[in-house]
C-alpha cells in the first residue's frame, strides 16, 4: 500500500506554509482526520496495520486510544484486530479512563494514535493504562512523523521521542518533513505567512 498516496488522495497531506504546535514552520502538514473521513478507506489502512501487528506475533486484548485524535484510528484498528476498543481522555497533567470503561489486571493493550509525532499523548495514555494494571504491549499509529522508530522503519529514534524503546511502535509509514525555526524559515523569507492547521483552526 502506498500510504503517502492514500493521504494525498484524501487531501490529508497538505502542502503550503504551516505553523506547527511546536512553534516551528513546515511546508507540509498531515491532517489524519481527512484520511479517516471515509470508513472504507480507514478500514483498509487499519487492516494493513493489523496485519503488521499480527505478523509480529504479539497478543492483543484491547486497543486504547487517547481522545480525541486517536479515537477513530483506534476504533478501526480494534475492528481490524477483532478486539475491544476503549479510549482515555485528558485530565490535568495526564490521561484517564472514564465512561465506565474497565481493564483487567494484565490485559494486553495497544495504544493507538492517528499520528505519532513525539508520542507525548500516547505515553500519557500508556501511563494511565499501566496505573490500572494493564500491560501496554505496543504502540500503533497510521503515520509516524519520524521522531520515534517504527518496526521496519529506516529512521533512527530522535531525542524528542517520548515513547519507551522497549515497546514496539507499528506505523504504516514514516512522514519526515523538514521543519524550520520561524527566524530561519525559507517560506517566511519568500514572503508568505504561516497558517495554523489542525484542530485549533
Alpha-carbon torsion angle 129, 161, 193, 32, nearest 10: -50
Q: Considering the complex, state which of residue 9 and residue 15 has its C-beta at the smaller distance from Zn ion.
A: 15
What residue is closest to Zn ion based on CB? 185
Q: Considering the complex, state which of residue 27 and residue 157 has its C-beta at the smaller distance from Zn ion.
A: 27
Distance CA 43, CA 142 (A): 11
Output the smallest distance, CB 79 to Zn ion, in A. 40
Rounded to the nearest angstrom, the gap between the alpha carbon of residue 115 and the centroid of all alpha carbons in its chain is 2
Q: What does the per-residue mask of binding to Zn ion show for 161-190, with x meaning CB under 5 A?
A: ------------------------x-xx--
| Close Cβ partners of 6 (under 8 Å, ≥ 6 residues apart) | 35, 41, 44, 45
Q: Which of residues 3-32 bind Zn ion (CB under 5 A)?
A: 25
| Close Cβ partners of 112 (under 8 Å, ≥ 6 residues apart) | 63, 64, 65, 70, 73, 74, 77, 78, 139, 140, 141
Q: Considering the complex, state which of residue 169 and residue 194 has its C-beta at the smaller distance from Zn ion.
A: 194
User: Could you tell me how many residues of this chain bind Zn ion (CB under 5 A)?
Assistant: 5
Output the smallest distance, CB 8 to Zn ion, in A. 22
In the complex, the residues that contact Zn ion under the rule CB under 5 A are 25, 185, 187-188, 194
Amino acid at each position: 500500500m502506498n500510504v503517502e498516496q492514500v493521504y494525498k488522495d484524501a487531501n490529508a497531506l497538505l502542502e503550503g506554509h504551516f505553523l506547527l504546535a511546536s512553534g516551528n514552520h513546515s511546508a507540509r502538514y498531515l491532517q489524519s482526520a481527512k484520511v479517516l473521513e471515509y470508513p472504507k478507506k480507514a478500514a483498509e489502512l487499519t487492516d494493513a496495520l493489523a496485519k503488521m501487528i499480527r505478523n509480529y506475533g504479539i497478543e492483543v486484548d484491547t486497543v486504547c486510544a487517547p481522545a480525541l485524535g486517536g479515537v477513530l484510528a483506534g476504533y478501526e484498528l480494534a475492528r481490524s484486530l477483532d478486539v475491544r476498543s476503549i479510549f482515555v481522555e485528558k485530565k490535568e497533567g495526564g490521561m484517564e479512563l472514564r465512561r465506565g470503561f474497565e481493564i483487567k489486571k494484565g490485559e494486553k493493550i495497544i495504544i493507538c494514535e492517528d499520528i505519532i509525532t513525539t508520542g507525548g499523548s500516547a505515553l500519557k495514555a500508556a501511563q494511565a493504562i499501566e496505573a490500572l494494571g494493564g500491560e501496554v504491549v505496543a504502540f500503533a499509529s497510521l503515520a509516524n512523523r519520524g521522531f520515534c522508530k517504527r518496526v521496519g522503519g529506516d529512521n533512527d529514534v530522535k531525542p524528542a521521542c517520548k515513547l519507551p524503546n522497549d515497546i514496539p511502535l507499528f506505523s504504516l509509514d514514516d512522514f519526515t518533513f523538514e521543519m524550520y525555526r520561524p527566524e530561519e524559515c525559507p517560506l517566511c523569507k519568500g514572503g508568505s505567512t504561516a497558517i495554523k492547521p489542525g484542530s485549533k483552526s
